Amino acid sequence: MDRNFPHPLIPVPKKTVTNTPASNLVIDGPVSVITNASGAQQPADYLTAELNALDVATTAAAEGTAIALELTSENYAPNADGVPGIEAETYRLTVTDTGVEIVSSSPAGLQHGATTLLQLLIADGATWQIPPVTIEDAPRYAWRGLSFDLARSFSPLVEIKEVVDVLVELKYNVLHLHLCDDQGWRLQIRSHPELTTVSGQTAVEGGRSGFLTQEEYRELVEYAADRHVLIVPEIDVPGHTHALLHALPLADVGRTAPDPYTGIDVGFSELRLDDPTALSVLTDILTEVAELTPGPWIHVGGDEPFVIPAERYVTSVAAVEKLVYDIGKKAIGWNEFVRGAQRTETVIQHWNPRTELAALTNAARRGHRVIMSPASHVYLDMQYTADHPYGQDWAGLIEVADSYEWEPSTNVPDLDADQIMGIEAAIWMEKIHTREAVLEMLLPRLAPIAEVAWSPQPQHPRKLDQVAERLAAQATRWERKGWPFHRSQQVQWPAQ
């Protein structure tokens, strides 16, 4: 392990000290996970299940090694952004030679303590040991997410849940779902069933079709919420709408789109939001999405409006934004969205390192907050290397080092760093069509990105060698979970 940090933890915690006496806690019998409040039960259940999966027996009786989860507050509802917030996610983990204590003011913080504890476990034959540390930890950014494209190629509920599990291990707390695009529509909308009966059946060439029923979507929202992951649905308009136009008889309000689109071009479709019919369809859609989504946000896209006249784009975006606030939600849009955004609560998601930078910095000056998703570092659909079997390369090849060696606060020159709300990695599915491919593109790169989002800003620029060994140490855990990951040449993985 690197000299400065001897434990295989990723993201690296804020502060770690070694306790005295410096002997490991040895787990050679049953463990009892103890809670002091009902709010601690969920992280306790999570930890128990994870320990059982490692063949650590747990017992309800107060015997054996005690792992105590202590919730110090009864006030831990998500904040106005729908996430716990930095203070609530703060936790302390103390390992003594008799037991473990995790303390936090929220269940989310206790869960983070649990994921840290699981990474600390050292296998010693049939028993486990935990080094005698006290860790005081808190996230740098309150928003740490993944944007997941279900539209080009679909991933069924069970696989989306598995991605949530991956996010939890790395202390992410947002899953943004790109639910529709030119190639398909992935969420059942009761007022317009054709969206899924027709465009739920289409996909990019070689990709998977399908969709989430409303019950499945609700199940996912609940599954994620139980693990302190917020679901942010994206209905991408006015571009990226060919699948909608293909499914609904709206030839008068968009381009006539008789055939499904299975290519990978972008920016050729438009939902004409200057037409009342289109606007009322979109109102129906967003109203249902809002009803299904307890979180405060609806992402409304706005990217790549290449065929949309500038003025109409601006009025369309303003109309969509108004709709979102009228139904009681807050809007997020991709960079281009700033051209029409009227409300400073609207959050801008930065993605294209080449365009809209001045508009972004100006928007931040006006008060918009920004989610950082710079494609050249966090677009996990980019290939690792030119010969990698999946993905694209328009934003460059992204090796593990590229996903780590960047700094959000200085990534966009002149962007007011205080306006950065957090980070989202993204995976687009034009050329990623299986569970295995998804996980291999996510892992290991999601781990270094988690560190950029969670851990304190380092004094010197990040270098891969600061994280490589800790990354390699995750291999056994990922293998045990059955999560395929890319054995990048940049990391010395343990022998298989």
Please report, as ranges, the residues that interact with ligand TNX according to CB under 6 A.
266, 303-304, 334, 351, 379, 381, 392, 428, 430
Q: For the range 352-361, what are the long-range contacts, defined as Cβ-Cβ under 8 Å and sequence gap of 24 or more? A: 353/395, 353/411, 357/412, 357/413, 357/415, 359/335, 360/335, 360/412, 360/415, 361/412, 361/413, 361/414, 361/415, 361/416
Residue 331 structure tokens: 């809007």
Q: How far is the CB of 37 from ligand TNX (least distance, A)?
A: 42
User: Are 68 and 102 in contact, with CB atoms under 8 Å apart?
Assistant: yes
User: Are 16 and 5 in contact, with CB atoms under 8 Å apart?
Assistant: yes
Nearer to ligand TNX among residue 111 and residue 383 (C-beta): 383
Residue 293 structure tokens: 């989504």
Q: How far is CA 403 from CA 163, 383, 436, in A?
A: 18, 12, 20
The candidate with the shortest Cα–Cα distance to 244, out of 299, 281, 293, 280, is: 281
Nearer to ligand TNX among residue 93 and residue 203 (C-beta): 203
Nearer to ligand TNX among residue 430 and residue 440 (C-beta): 430
Q: In 10 A of CB 386, how many CB atoms?
A: 7
| Tokens 């140490």, located at residue | 473
Nearer to ligand TNX among residue 25 and residue 382 (C-beta): 382
Residue 293 to residue 295: CA distance in whole angstroms: 6
Residue 295 structure tokens: 């979180």
Please spell the DSSP secondary structure of 212-240, one letter per residue.
B-HHHHHHHHHHHHHTT-EEEEEEEESSS
Beta partners for residue 16, in sequence order: 135
Nearer to ligand TNX among residue 303 and residue 399 (C-beta): 303
Q: How far is the CB of 175 from ligand TNX (least distance, A)?
A: 16
Distance of CA 397 to the CA centre of its chain: 21
Q: How far is the CB of 251 from ligand TNX (least distance, A)?
A: 24
Residue 278 structure tokens: 């289109």
Q: In 10 A of CB 435, how many CB atoms?
A: 17
The candidate with the shortest Cα–Cα distance to 114, out of 247, 228, 280, 262, is: 228
- List phi, psi (to 5°) of 373: -135, 55
Q: Catalytic site residues? A: 304
